[in-house]
A = this chain, B = another copy of it.
């Protein structure tokens, strides 16, 4: 009784999810694929899977119980709405959509349908380190969370392709989502500060400091450095009233040699989050098998869109950009 999954978009991330669904996880089969390039779709399709030119046809097909969207961002809205219309659970890679209005249309459709169907690809929530951190905070033993420091360091980004807006509209969304989730809070305002610029990335605006003001009053300080050379280093520390909780070092061999006592740092996001991606889909499969979704929701996709938009405005204004959200539908309570 495997879940029959159709995958839309067979680029790098789509191919990786097909590998995951067919070779790593149980209880699932990839029965259909679609891509704007039929050639790429055929190359990526597992044996026996149907190949579609039209994503909507894939979504409508009887061979598909649930959908994974890995197409490019601007195509997501239409595909999500089609999935909701078909009543089929759907996993959508981030960004969920590319505008606030589009996010609201997805939310409206899903609330009208009356049951959650959409899971957005914020994989950090499935990472064991983050889950343990949230579990500590949620016990309340350290008191209320007052500040959160989120450090997001990439070894490098491709020169020219990764532009100065991307720390805010591409990279920041992970920190924004995990902050909201860890603190069980909403972001109500955003400030951006630009420190002395790194000379590594030439004309790139890097690093970036972002302050997220939360509804509770908690403040999140995000440090984004995208060309820091030494590795992919993701850190998080929650300061509470009577204690502090932080992500640990990654579990690397402790070597003592001429360079000191040391542990290797992950090279990239694949190495760091591969198990989170597996777990993300493991849970999605269970929920989708029951006709619904349980992970990061369309509401979370909406919230992250608002934060990115506000951050971009804050760079221009230099000020505190307020975020105002619609009232939260009961579906996302």
Pairwise interchain contact B253-A129, C-beta atoms closer than 8 A:
yes
Can you name the residue of chain B whose Cβ is closest to the Cβ of A196?
A: B217
Q: Does A258 interact with chain B (Cβ within 8 Å)?
A: yes
Pairwise interchain contact B249-A248, C-beta atoms closer than 8 A:
yes
- CB neighbours (8 Å) of A244 from chain B are 153, 228, 230, 233, 255-257
Given A199-B144, A261-B263, are A245 and B254 neighbors across the interface (CB < 8 Å)?
yes
The interface-forming segment of A23-31, A35-43, A84-92 is: A23-31
- CB neighbours (8 Å) of A147 from chain B are 195, 207, 209, 223
Bound form: Cα–Cα A241–B143 in Å:
34
Q: Does A12 interact with chain B (Cβ within 8 Å)?
A: no
Interchain nearest-CB distance for A203 vs B (Å): 15
Q: For window 242-273 of chain A, which residues contact chain B by CB distance below 8 Å?
A: 242-265
Interchain nearest-CB distance for A257 vs B (Å): 4
Given A193-B211, A265-B261, are A221 and B221 neighbors across the interface (CB < 8 Å)?
yes
Interface residue tally for chain A (C-beta within 8 Å): 72
- CB neighbours (8 Å) of A199 from chain B are 143-144, 241
- CB neighbours (8 Å) of A111 from chain B are none
Q: Does A231 interact with chain B (Cβ within 8 Å)?
A: yes
- CB neighbours (8 Å) of A262 from chain B are 259-263
Given A199-B143, A200-B143, are A230 and B242 neighbors across the interface (CB < 8 Å)?
yes
Q: Does A287 interact with chain B (Cβ within 8 Å)?
A: no
Can you name the residue of chain B whose Cβ is closest to the Cβ of A218?
A: B196
Contact mask for chain A residues 268-281; partner B; CB cutoff 8 A; 1 contact, 0 none: 00000000000000
Interchain nearest-CB distance for A201 vs B (Å): 9
Listed by A's residue number, 8 A-B pairs whose Cβ atoms lie within 8 Å are A25-B26, A136-B255, A193-B211, A199-B241, A230-B257, A243-B255, A246-B256, A251-B251
